[in-house]
Amino acid sequence: MKLGPTGPERSCPLSWRRCFTVAMISARSVMIDGQEFGYRMAGEPCGVPVLLLHATGETSESWADFMPRWAGMGVVYALDLRGHGRSVWKGPYGLDVLAGDVVGFLDAMGLARVDLVGHSLGGLVACLVASGAPGRVHRLVLEDVGVPHPREPAVLERPTGPLDFDWDMVRSVRAQIDDPDPEWPTRVARIQADTLVLAGGPESPVPQEHVEEMAATIPGARLVTIGGGHMVHDARPDEFAAAVMAHLAPPVG
């Protein structure tokens, strides 16, 4: 057993790391700076934990297909970002605030470092965590995430009926993405984690040249185009899982 800054980190027997089982996903909550955050968990502590961060308007449930796939290899968490699902619906909202929440989650859970997987908004948040707290992120996977560039703001219309997310959060976060901090390339270039960038291909509304730029800007990052559009893990679940698992748990020997 190896002791990290905030907790133990166990190595897994190779036989277990190759074992895939049907896993139960439990819904839980944790207090971070006096505010409640919801998360889902599957698997048993083993090696470096995996933390999944969802897109705008999604919740931790969006990872329901991937979590059982990883649970036979170790523990996996999926966090509801602020303003989503069972986490606190209270501002101020912003990318740096969301990144601070993620670091707070690591502290509250006693996780010294994790492998981060982020989709869309969750990928941008993951970039900020990996850049600002490099010692906390071992490996990084970005699903269809490009370096933000200024763009014409879209007209936002609130969907009818109950939502799984706070509409004020959407407006605040979208404003930051439409008119991004010009320091984004500099912050991305500071990422030290071993990074895999997965692209959704021409079906995605995200400019693929920006996804390619992300891979080119992060030192040593690798770009793989899976296709299927922006929701790669939904459209191509097998290909997505194979790419992510190969990156996070490379063959031994």
Q: What is the pLDDT of residue 191?
A: 98
Q: What is the pLDDT of residue 168?
A: 96
The tally of domains found in the chain comes to 1
**What CATH number is given to the structural domain containing 175?**
3.40.50.1820
The answer to whether residue 222 sits within a structural domain is yes
The answer to whether residue 60 sits within a structural domain is yes
Q: Say what the pTM is.
A: 0.91
Tokens of 138: 């071992």
The answer to whether residue 95 sits within a structural domain is yes
Closest CA to 92 of 151, 12, 35, 13: 35
Q: What is the pLDDT of residue 252?
A: 59
Q: What is the pLDDT of residue 46?
A: 82
> How, if at all, do strands 26-32 and 35-42 pair?
antiparallel
Amino acid at 252: V
Instruction: Name the residue with tokens 């990928």.
Output: 123
The answer to whether residue 13 sits within a structural domain is no
Cis ω for the linkage preceding 159 (within 30 of 0): no
> How many whole angstroms separate alpha carbon 29 and alpha carbon 8?
21
The answer to whether residue 103 sits within a structural domain is yes
The answer to whether residue 20 sits within a structural domain is no
Biggest CA–CA distance in the chain, Å, is 54
The answer to whether residue 5 sits within a structural domain is no
User: Could you tell me how many helices (H) and strands (E) the chain has, helices first?
Assistant: 9, 10
Q: Domain range holding 229?
A: 25-156+164-248
Q: Average pLDDT per run of 10 along the chain, which is 253 residues long?
A: 37 40 83 97 92 98 96 95 98 96 98 98 98 98 98 91 96 96 97 98 97 98 98 98 92 56
> How many whole angstroms separate alpha carbon 105 and alpha carbon 37?
8
Q: What is the pLDDT of residue 249?
A: 85
Beta-carbon-side half-sphere exposure of residue 243 (alpha carbons within 13 Å): 24
The answer to whether residue 112 sits within a structural domain is yes
